Amino acid sequence: MSDNGHQQNGHENVPSRQRRRFEGISSRTYEHPADRSALVALRKLSGFDTVFKVLSGLLPERSLRLLFLSDSVRVSDAQFAHLNTMLRDACHILDLEKVPPMYVTQDPQPNAMCIGLDEPIIVVTTGLVELLDEEEMRAVVGHEVGHALSGHAVYRTILLFLTNLALRVAWIPLGNIAIMAIVTALREWFRKSELSADRAGLLVGQDLKASMRGLMKLAGGNHLHEMNVDAFLEQAEEYEAGGDLRDSVLKILNTLPRTHPFTTVRAAELKKWAESRDYQRIMDGHYPRRTEDKETSVSDSFRQSAASYATDVKNSKDPLMKLVSDIAGGAGDLGGRVRRGFGGFAGGTPKDQTAPEDRTSPKDQPPRDSTPEDDD
């Protein structure tokens, strides 16, 4: 499709270029395996829609919609027209028929989200709008439309609700523990869903450099002349491989309360996906269609998810993950060494029947003399 550049509200003019449209694309195309397996399983549950319709009456979704409607600016042809054009463009490329409403809310913190149970709504902050250029913002809008297409908005809303609930019942020990266990699991899923949405943003913008610039700006602000993509990606590699087991534990503790992966990690993951054969096949027009979603196997999705985690552990440079991988890879040999070392005890062989070589003194040391010097 043709994407005509324009200049509005201080945004620089961008050149026209051709971008591929993905007709009938399934969200499974870009979803991270761990994200995809959870979504496939939930979609297969009977009564899934009914449960969430009931939940929608309990969650403050109507309140959120009224809040944004009354105290934010709704994107349209009359307001933030350049964002409205990007939104419709993203929905066209990902073939999302119903364009979700989008709001700009006053907040200096750069952020964007897609929430809602009945219908998704997209919210971006003024801090984000002012930070990013046209192409970087296009990737962000595509990111949020990817959330909408995957149905992430439903689970994001539930996560927000449960997080608030956990704060309210913090004084109840067992109640808080139970809710926080669910919240922790949801956060792990949501971190993977963010990687999925980053991929959707790349499919919409089809400009890896713009996606990288946007992530760098989220980390370091609007100082591109002071930043370098290669150096930024080196940070991700240093973060993963650096330190010892203590640092590995600290990484886990730092990650648990977050809903988003660290920015350098997101950049490295997106670049790796953009250079993969899967991405090239998608760009060549070979991708799953929505019409095939009902035929998707839950067990196959979970196997793919497990394989993805196993590959991550195997290829990881993190000290703890390397230890786990070494133990898993050498488990058979370790067992053999244990059997060889304790075979005599396992077979019930008496101690005095042990082979002579097993009874030699350590290092074949000579007999000790009973002299005072031996006690030094």
- Distances 327 to 213, 322, 335, 355 between C-alpha atoms, Å: 39, 9, 11, 31
DSSP letter at 104 equals E
Task: For tokens 């290829």, name the residue.
Answer: 315
The helix/strand/coil state of 332 is helix
Residue of 61, 136, 144, 194 marked active site:
144
Element (H, E) at 115: strand 112-115
* Cα angle 233-238-242, degrees, rounded to a multiple of 5: 165
Residue 276: the pLDDT is: 94
The yes-or-no answer on residue 134 being catalytic is no
Q: Are the C-beta atoms of 141 and 80 separated by less than 8 Å? A: no
pLDDT tens string 349-373: 444 444 444 444 444 454 444 444 4
Taking the CB of residue 153, how many other CB atoms lie within 10 A of it? 24
DSSP letter at 285 equals T
Q: Are the C-beta atoms of 116 and 147 separated by less than 8 Å? A: no
How far apart CA 302 and CA 279 sit, in angstroms, is 21
* Cα angle 44-46-51, degrees, rounded to a multiple of 5: 110
How far apart CA 336 and CA 342 sit, in angstroms, is 10
DSSP letter at 356 equals G
What is the pTM for the complete model shown? 0.68
How far apart CA 327 and CA 330 sit, in angstroms, is 5
Name the pairing type of β-strands 102-105 and 121-125. Answer: parallel
Residue 288: the pLDDT is: 93
Residue 119: the pLDDT is: 81
Length of the chain: 376
Q: Are the C-beta atoms of 60 and 161 separated by less than 8 Å? A: yes
Q: Dihedral (C-alpha) 149, 150, 154, 155: value to the nearest 10 degrees?
A: -150
Q: Are the C-beta atoms of 216 and 229 separated by less than 8 Å? A: yes
Q: Are the C-beta atoms of 150 and 39 separated by less than 8 Å? A: yes
How far apart CA 254 and CA 258 sit, in angstroms, is 8
Residue 33: the pLDDT is: 79
Strands, E, within 134-285: which ranges?
none
Residue 241: the pLDDT is: 73
Element (H, E) at 3: strand 2-3
Residue 375: the pLDDT is: 43
How far apart CA 132 and CA 139 sit, in angstroms, is 10
Name the pairing type of β-strands 2-3 and 102-105. Answer: unpaired
Taking alpha carbons only, the member of 20, 13, 56, 71 closest to residue 280 is 20
Q: Which residues of the chain have pLDDT under 50?
A: 1-16, 45-46, 298, 302, 309, 313, 331-364, 366-376
Taking the CB of residue 75, how many other CB atoms lie within 10 A of it? 24
Q: Are the C-beta atoms of 26 and 290 separated by less than 8 Å? A: yes
How far apart CA 364 and CA 94 sit, in angstroms, is 75
β-bridge partners, 103: 74, 123
How far apart CA 310 and CA 312 sit, in angstroms, is 5
DSSP letter at 223 equals -
Taking the CB of residue 190, how many other CB atoms lie within 10 A of it? 20
How far apart CA 89 and CA 22 sit, in angstroms, is 12
Residue 289: the pLDDT is: 94
pLDDT tens string 286-310: 999 999 877 665 455 545 555 554 5
Name the pairing type of β-strands 73-74 and 17-18. Answer: unpaired
Residue 139: the pLDDT is: 97
